[in-house]
Every structure is written in structure tokens, then in C-alpha cells.
Structure 1
Amino acid sequence: MRIVVVGDVMLDVDLSGEATRLSPDAPVPVVDVSGIRSRAGGAGLVARMLAGEGWPVTLVTVFGDDDAGRQLRGELAGVRLVSGPSGHPTPVKTRVRAGSHAVVRFDQGCGKPPVPEMSPAMLRAVEEAGAIIVADYGRGVAASPELRRLLARRTAEVPVIWDPHPSGPEPVPGVAVVTPNLAEATKAAATYASPASGDGAPGDPAAGVGRILLERWQGNAVLVTKGSDGAVLLQRDSVSPLDVPAPRVEAGDPCGAGDRLVAGLAVHLLAGSALPEAAGLAVNDAADFLGAGGVAALPDRSSDHGVVRDDGGDASGPTGASVERPADGPTRLRRATEPLLLARAVRGNGGTVVATGGCFDLLHAGHVRSLAAARELGDCLIVCLNSDSSVRRLKGAERPIIGQQDRAELLLAMECVDAVMVFDEDTPEVALDRLRPDIWVKGGDYKGSRLPEAELVESWGGRCVTVPYHPARSTTGLADALAKVS
């Protein structure tokens, strides 16, 4: 069944570099830009995440008729689009980053736009959805009267997840779940006269404001997200709030975590999970996304091919909308997907999930051979990768030589690796318990001894396997050799 993402899109641009000095003109840092990267933001980012994992998704939105709008369409290559005109310049948000820190953001075209009209093709796409995500970024799409009437009716038929915005309208009544972050929820609750009901958990303001919004918005549930502290779920049919903890990950840039969470909610609800289970899985999905590098680790879609555009919207004639469909048949499960969703999809198709783990600092031929051998054992290979802090605790203050984001990117560049799951603990047991692979693989240097993870893996019916070990090839040996050269 197709997931429809409806909402506002924008062009996000990242200028990255290093800042090692101050400007002589003013006491501000000078950033030597070494990289420029653009991507779809807002509802476009949600749709890209879903399409990148192989889920059938349609994006219903509006575009500005300008260079930025045309570039934004390019960033959405491979996503099925049903769109209309926005009647306003395309919003562009440019972030300047020095190392891992944001220095400043420039916003262009972000003034108040008119509420756009919904074409028949746009409404028809929402009508045909198996699940709906409203990604409201306060740019008018969610305020369309025609769309709101349709969404209010569809709440009784399919899961509707509403990601609100402070500048946007209230969610329509009856949605499955609304997902404000704590700051958004606090601001929204403060605008209503209703006092806190007192049903929230002691000392947890998220539960209090969530209860206010649950009553005011007349939805079935409100999931208030709290960043690294997880989330709190308030449900209409439950008196007590449910705390949803988040796994601990090392992540610098939280951008995109909320988008990843709503994408996960749609997938898990569509798969038949109850909302409490779906919320827990979605929080873990968001943590995995950040642990794997966040938006910086997303693959570049601007060079994708295989898209056919039908400016008429469908075969029946002009509708004033634009529709884009993949030209190469069924959507494929792309690489760099989130590991838990990949494992679930492979198992759902009767396949075998294989996992292995390690630091993979200075990737060498021994790693490549072992990984290739592991991939031959099943239908996907997921690498559990020690985070930078984990490597430092295990190997010492001088390690890792290569940061976790680059290590993950190098692994994903290998044909045999399908996903990377970054973990922050000293051992992979917590990651393994969440992933639950059918086969856990280690190098043959463990031959003759029982693997430390064997008891855990066997507890869910998995098995442990060793693959050939290649002596004289090690990260430590490479590091020593490099030290001598330098």
C-alpha cells in the first residue's frame, strides 16, 4: 500500500568547512568552505527517506516557479510527485557549518505564502493512500480547506500521522497521532486556556502539555518527542502516559530526526503494529538515523535517473499537476537504508539477515574479504559499527583514526554491505538485541572458542559463524606503518 506524504517542501543547502581564524573586519569566524551540498527539506525529506528504503511513496506538494524550485525537483528524483504551483518563491535555507557546529543559517523566500489550491490529481493521490503523513512546515499546504476536509474523512479509513508546525494550522480531528517536539508542544499548549489536567508523569512537562493538546486537537494520540530523552505517548483510550525511551547514540546534528520518526511511524502502523509498539520502533529508527550520520549520510539523489514526468497528472488529460514515476518498474530497496527496517523487510520476505561488527578503522583487504564472505551467508549484511567514543574506550585516546561517519560511508560504498548500525556501547550486545540477526559473523581469529555474543544470538534462534581470518592484515599494522612513513 502506498504512503502519501503531503506538505511543504523547501531546498536545504549546507556549506561546510573549517573555521581556524577570525575575520579582520569583525570578530566573526571565517569559514573556509570545502563542500556544498543541497537536499530536499520538509515534506520532501520525509518522502526521500521512505523512497530510499524502497517503500512506495507519493509526495503531494507545491513548487515555486524559479531556479530553486527546479533544483528542488532534481533533489527529489526517484520520488513520485503529484504537485501544483505554490504562487510563491521557493524557500531556501542555507546552513554554514564549521566542523560539526552550525555557525549561521540564511533563509530566503520564507515569507508568508498564500494557501495553495489543491488540484484534482493532488486530492486523488491523498484519496488513494494506504497511510498519510502530513508534514506541515507552516507554508500553507496543510491549511487548504479542500485538503483538510478530505483528511478529516480519511482519518477513519487509514493511519494519518500529523507533524505540526508552530506557524501551521491545527491538525484535523481524528488523526492517529500528532508528533510535536517538546518546544512546539509547549508553545501550542500555552495558547490554549485549558490548564494542565494533572495526568502527566511527575516532573515530566511533556506529558502535561501533551494531555492539553490531546484534548484540544481531538486526535487519537499525541507523541511529544524529547530529543535524546525519547518521547512521551498520550492516547485517548489510555489514562496514563507512556514513556518511550531512546537508545543512546553519538550524534552531532539532530536535523531530520523528526522527519525520520514520522516516516517510521507510518511504516510500522501500515505494517500492523499497535501505536505504542510503532512509537517505540520509530524512536529507535530516529536514533539509528542520527547514529549513522543523519542528513549528512543521506545518498545524493540529484543525479538519479529513471524518472518519467507526466505534466497532465494522469492519462485522462491536463489537471494542472505534475506527476513523476520511476521508469524502472518496482521500487528497489536502496542502500544506506536504516538497519532495523531493512532487517524487518528481509525477514518479511523470508530472507536471512546477516550481521557482523567491529571498529573498521582503516579499512583493509582483510576486512573486505571477511565482509564479502559474510554477505554470501544470507540476503543482506548489516554492519554493527563501534562509535568514535566506543573506539576510544577500547583502543585508546589516539583512536579512531577515521571518524564514524566516514567509516560508515566507506562501508556502505562496498557492494556487500547493505546497512550500517552505529552503537555507542563497548560491546555490540544492545545493538544485536534490537537487530536480532539470523546469523552473527566474526573473523576466524575466534576459531576454536565460543563467541562472546553466542548465548544472546542463540536466545532468539540465531547462530554464530566465523569466516576466514587473514593474518598480516590489521588496522594496527597499517597504523604503525603510516606512523613510520610520517
Structure 2
Amino acid sequence: MRRLVIVGDTLLDRDVDGDVSRIAPDAPAPVLDERTVHERPGGAGLAALLAAGDGHRVALITALSSDAAGARLSELLTAAGVELYPLPLPGATPEKVRLRANGQVLLRLDRGGDPEPPGEAPPAALDVLRDVDAILVSDYGRGVARHPALRAALERATAPVVWDPHPRGPAPVADCRLVTPNLAEVCAFAGDAGDGSTLTTAQRAGHVLRQRWRTAAVAVTCGPGGAVLCHSGPTPLVVPAPYVAEGDTCGAGDRFAVTAALALAEGALLSEAVQRAVSAATAHIGHDSKDKNDHRATIDEVRARNGVVVATGGCFDLLHTGHLATLRAARQLGDCLVVCLNSDTSVRDLKGPDRPLNNQHDRARLLSALDCVDAVVVFDEPTPEAVLSWLRPDIWVKGGDYADGGPELPESALVERWGGQTVIVPYLDGRSTTRTIAAARGGRR
């Protein structure tokens, strides 16, 4: 369990959810009937909440007002196990209120006005920066990152410092391990017009800021494009998002920065830290918009438009051109193709203790990457009868030598129960996983 100190501005986020069924009689505006109110820490407070939720020891150095919103933030953070080191904040605690209906934001109301500099940092807040595994500065442009005593303590810190900057905030202190602006921010900081491709712009502006800020590396986050890591070498590291996520992007930047800081605390390389951060931020946003493990959604969508569901199955231990020929032929028979994949346990039962060579997760990922495959479902049984019973495909496809007078396919009678049909498609002669393994082991030349 690592200890992470987060330094930055904390806000109170309040989501007011309700229903809209009418327009106000006195103005052309929707009327929101309030149903629920959800409050949570925002800004650096959200970063602290995310890190604490991962099971780490988290200390938060922030500024809080002595008002009701400040008290509520203190309550929420301490309840999550976050150690609070508050600086006095003149004026009101900043709040962001989102009015939402059916998940859509209708209006955002900001409270708190122009920020005032926080008061004196207590000695305990400065002491906590001395003996930690990593430090994250989560700047939201309201003054904490400008605090002279905190900046001096950050410059003396021996732990890796990750700095998540803000357009209204100060430059990072020198010798940060990683700075994490998004693409728009890096262009604004560098005075870059942003012409050219995302990669070209991120690389150009990122290197300008790395030198200006005297930081080890700048990771430019590019939304669905992942991140571009600009370090001491001339060639940037591009880390694509593992998939295109659908969902609320609120907090994705905090998730990225927290994950990168914790990875560096564990001794990860910068490249490893950014890879973990991209994956975590993508997962934070939501599910894969083309998630091929969501077989039920795929089937329901096809059936809703009276389409034809096709399924096939196998171990697919070493994907080869014979498999590809079968899968492409199967996909042409309908409107979606679901691959029923034997689990690792199932493959061992069928093929012996030395198989599979690739685990079920890797095999499913390779199949999902094919454009002819719409969904993948893993099953544990020796045969696919159980999974077929609830998939109920319109067409069940087998590839092989059954067409040459072989025995009747064992699944045929089952598929016929719901009016489905079993068919055979040809496969390429001489291509098989067993032969490929034998060739690799020197069994044949």
C-alpha cells in the first residue's frame, strides 16, 4: 500500500437529477422536477477519493472555507479515509452544480466567485511532503499550487512529483517527474496554434514545455487518442486508448494523473506509468462502445431489426489463415457473428495438459480484433451446447471435414429446436493449430 500526497484545489460537486416534462410558463426554459441530489468532492478532492478507493494511504493538502460546503467536503473526504491537511480559504468554498435529466446536463451553476489566495500552510502540511511514495499536484487554478511555502516544500521533495496543470495556474516546480496537460492546455501553455495532426502538435508543444518547465517528461492526454509522452529522447511514445469509451469524461484527467503517480511510486518506468494511466482513464469513462464481450447487446440489437444471428465455435489457440477463412465465411451468412470460445479449462480437457498455448483472455482479444467478429463469449464446458441454448443463433457454423460424408454434427438437433440451421463452410487444407505447433517444435519441416 503506497502513500500518496495530493496538493491542490478542492471543489464541491453537486449533481441534481430529475425529470423534464414541461416548459416554464414565464420563460422558454425546461422545468426540472428534482428527484435526487448527489454530492462529491471535485478537483483535487476527487483525485484523493480515487486514490483512496484504490486502497492507498492518501493525504490531501487543500484549502477549505469555514462554511457549510467546506464542512461537507471535510465530511466526505474523511469518511473515505483521506487524511486532510487544510489551509484556511477566504470567501466561499467553490461549488459546481449540474442540473441533469436522463443523464444529460441541462445547466451548470458555478459558485464561489473569483478565488482568493489561501492562508498560511500549517507545519503538518509541509511535513507530510517529506516522507511519501509520490506526490500529485492537482491544480484547478484557485491558488493552492501558487502557495509559496508549498512550492518551496515541493521543490525539496525527494518523492516523484506528478503535476496536473491548469490554464489559470502557475508553472510546475522544476524537476517534476511528469506533467500531464491535455492537448488544448499544452497548446495554450506553449503558444502553439495547434495546426497539424494531433501527434505532431502534441509532440511539438510537449517538447517546448518539457524544456521550459525543466521537467523529466510531459504526457499530453488526447482524449480518445490516448496520450503522447514527450521525454528526453527525440521520438515520442504514443500510447493509444485500449478502446473508444462511451460515458461521462468528468474525472478522467484526475484518474490519469492519480494512476501515473501511483505507478511511479511503485518504481514503474515513465512509459509504464503512462500506459497504466491511459488504460485507467479509459475505463473510468465507461464501457467500450464496440465491446465485443457484450454479446447479449449485440444479439438484441440484431434481432430488434429482424437480422440473422450467426455463431461458430472453437479453441482458436493459434489464430491462422484457416480460422480466418472460416470466420469470414460464417460472417457472410448473417448480420452478426458470435464466436463461442472454449475456455482454458475446456481446451485442456479436449487437447491435453499442454494446451492452450495462449490463455482465453488473449485468444478472445485476438478474435475481437477481427472485423468479421461481432462478439466473443467464453464457455467452460467440453461442448458448446449450453452456450448455444441461451444464445439461440439462427445459423450455427462449423468448418472442417463434416461435409465429406462424416458423422452428423452433434449440435444440429439442438439448433433445430428453435428453428435454427446448422451449416458447414470449407476450410483451407493443411492449416491447423496442431500442425503449426508441430512445425514450431521441429516435428516436420
Residues 384-433 of structure 1, C-alpha deviations (whole Å, 9 max, x = no match): 9945xx6432332578xxxxxxxxxxxxxxxxxxxxxxxxx99899xx9x
Alpha-carbon distance in structure 2 between the residues aligned to 1:470 and 1:19 = 47
Q: State, as a whole percentage, how many aligned pairs show the same letter.
A: 40
Residue 283 of structure 1 corresponds to 278
Q: Is the 8 A contact 1:201 1:207 kept in 2?
A: no
2:111 counterpart of 1:206: no
Instruction: Give 3-state SS (helix, strand or coil) of 2:162's partner.
Output: strand
2:118 pairs with 1:111: no
CA distance in 2, matches of 1:197, 1:215: 19
Question: Closer, same or farther in 2 for the Cα pair 1:226/1:19, shift >3 Å?
Answer: farther
- Corresponding residue for 2:155? 152
Structure 1 position 118, deviation (Å): 1.1
Q: What is the total number of aligned residue pairs between the two structures?
A: 338
1:61 is matched with 62
Letter in 2 for 1:95: R
For 2:226, the equivalent position in structure 1 comes to: 230
Q: CA deviation at 1:470?
A: 13
Residues 16 and 398 (structure 1), Cα distance of their counterparts in 2 relative to 1, 3 Å cut: farther
Contact 1:249–1:291 (CA under 8 A) maintained in structure 2: no
Structure 1 residues 213 and 149: CA distance shift in structure 2, 3 A? same
SS of structure 1 residue aligned to 2:25: coil
Deviation by residue 1:357-400 (Cα, 9 ceiling, x = unmatched): xxxxxxxxxxxxxxxxxxxxxxxxxxx9945xx6432332578x
The Cα shift of 1:215 comes to 1.7
Read off the aligned partner of 1:19 and give its amino acid letter.
V
Unaligned runs of 5+ in 2: 305-335, 364-377, 393-445
User: Take 1:397 and 1:30, find their aligned partners in 2: how far apart are those partners?
Assistant: 37
The AA in structure 1 aligned to 2:173 is: V
Aligned CA RMSD, in angstroms, stands at 3.9
Pick the aligned partner of 1:129 from 132, 136, 143.
132
| Residue in structure 2 matched with residue 300 of structure 1 by the alignment | none
Q: Distance in 2 between matches of 1:42 and 1:27?
A: 33
| 1:293-312 alignment runs, 5 A limit | none
Q: CA deviation at 1:169?
A: 0.8
**Alpha carbons 1:133, 1:262 under 8 Å: kept:** yes
SS at match of 1:204: helix
Residue 199 of structure 2 is aligned to residue 219 of structure 1: no
Structure 2 length as normaliser, TM-score? 0.67
- Alignment partners' CA distance in 1, 2:115 and 2:42: 17
**Are 2:101 and 1:86 equivalent residues in the alignment?**
no
Structure of higher RCO (CA pairs closer than 8 Å, 6+ residues apart): 1
Partners of 1:256 and 1:182 in 2: CA distance: 16
Is the contact between residue 17 and residue 31 of structure 1 (CA under 8 Å) also seen in structure 2?
A: yes
Contact 2:5–2:129 under 8 Å retained in 1:
yes
Establish whether residue 395 from structure 1 lines up as the match of residue 297 from structure 2. no
Indicate which of 240, 243, 247 corresponds to 1:248: 243
Closer, same or farther in 2 for the Cα pair 1:113/1:475, shift >3 Å? farther
TM-score, normalization by structure 1? 0.61
Match of residue 101 from structure 1:
104
Matched, 1:262 2:257: yes
Task: Please state how far the C-alpha of 1:110 moved relative to its aligned partner.
Answer: 3.4
Q: Structure 1: how far apart are the matches of 2:11 and 2:138?
A: 12
C-alpha distance in 1 between matches for 2:17 and 2:356: 43
**Rg comparison, structure with higher value:** 2
Offset, 1:85:
1.6
What is aligned with 1:457? 359
SS of 2:62's equivalent?
Answer: strand
2-side partners of 1:208 and 1:25: how far apart?
A: 52
Secondary structure (helix, strand or coil) at the match of 1:285 reads helix
- 1:254 Cα deviation (Å)? 0.2
User: How far does the alpha carbon of each residue in 1:273-321 deviate from its partner, in whole angstroms, 9 at most, with x for none?
Assistant: 100111011100111111269xxxxxxxxxxxxxxxxxxxxxxxxxxxx
Instruction: Using the TM superposition, give the Cα deviation of residue 139 of structure 1 relative to its aligned residue in structure 2, in angstroms.
Output: 1.4
Change (3 A) 1:99 1:455: farther
For the structure 1 residues 243 and 471, does the alpha-carbon distance in structure 2 shift closer, same or farther, using more than 3 Å as the test?
closer
2:187–2:193: 8 Å Cα contact kept in structure 1?
no
Give 1:215's aligned amino acid: Q
What does 1:173-188 correspond to in 2, within 5 Å?
173-188=174-189
Counterpart code for 1:395: D
Q: Distance in 1 between matches of 2:24 and 2:275?
A: 47
